[in-house]
Structure 1
């Protein structure tokens, strides 16, 4: 379980949100909503242990993540706004680098799942923005960690790709995983219930 306790975030002397508390349990898909500037990305980075909150704490399995940083990060896959992949490597090399313990066939299957077969030997720098995003998202087909934190994972992804990615998130949740994501798109919740938290700038409340 991931637990946010009374989180307050201040950026450039402006309070983005305050006294924010919630839990994320195995099987949850949690969508963080809110207008631009409400602090969605800041919240995700706080939950991932990449930023510190002004007040409050984040707990993983009932312990503060700051006291178990390495163990927590072993159970976390964080994909931010940028693809977070190595531009000089190929898609195949990137997946082997980040998931070196995976079987070769699993890596090829991941590339096929995101529509990158035929591009596996090109340097990532030569790919389009959407294709680069797909390289990063292919990691979701290889990851075995419990917690996925995804910042706008659907950016530059076509409609078919969105549906395929949502099915992967649902599969992960059904296997006992946890997903926290932001997106400007309306997500389908017919087959699997989504939880939602909407951020409003604290000064506007």
Structure 2
């Protein structure tokens, strides 16, 4: 059973999401939060698997709450799924940098939201279809000089850099295996090594690292 915390400052939105989650036989709502501080508290007390987090909330917002969860070793198994109104919201990038496992827009189809919760609960990253490129074009069009390069970047082999570049371009493990003419297991091993070397929580942070390091550039550059 996937244990879900819902964090949104709008009660009607939380109620709608709660009804949807409770309709899934493999999920249960273990807490509802109106702000980020409460979301963090509930993530701890309820032993949640996934926190569905709104970005804009009073007090502690979703980005700060995500960073707190990601930095807490006791919450290492908790995954954050960001919900936002706009796919091109640059705050989504900040949330991914902070440790979110992915994001969806709020008007996504109910079945897609449930599938997204299952995806991040299983340890995978989830980026809203079509939204990644929009974010790249608007926010990640060039490396941020204020953002330090990932600490482990210099430790990567040429092959690992190649894999990171392809991950940044959106390839999944099967596509990596096909492009590099390796087995799916080997592709998965490369991804695991990158997660370890770059101290990344999941694939979403690898995508961010690929762009911020300059290994991948937006299509218009």
TM over 0.5: no
More helix by share: 2
TM-score by length of 2: 0.27
Higher relative contact order (CA 8 A, sep 6+): 1
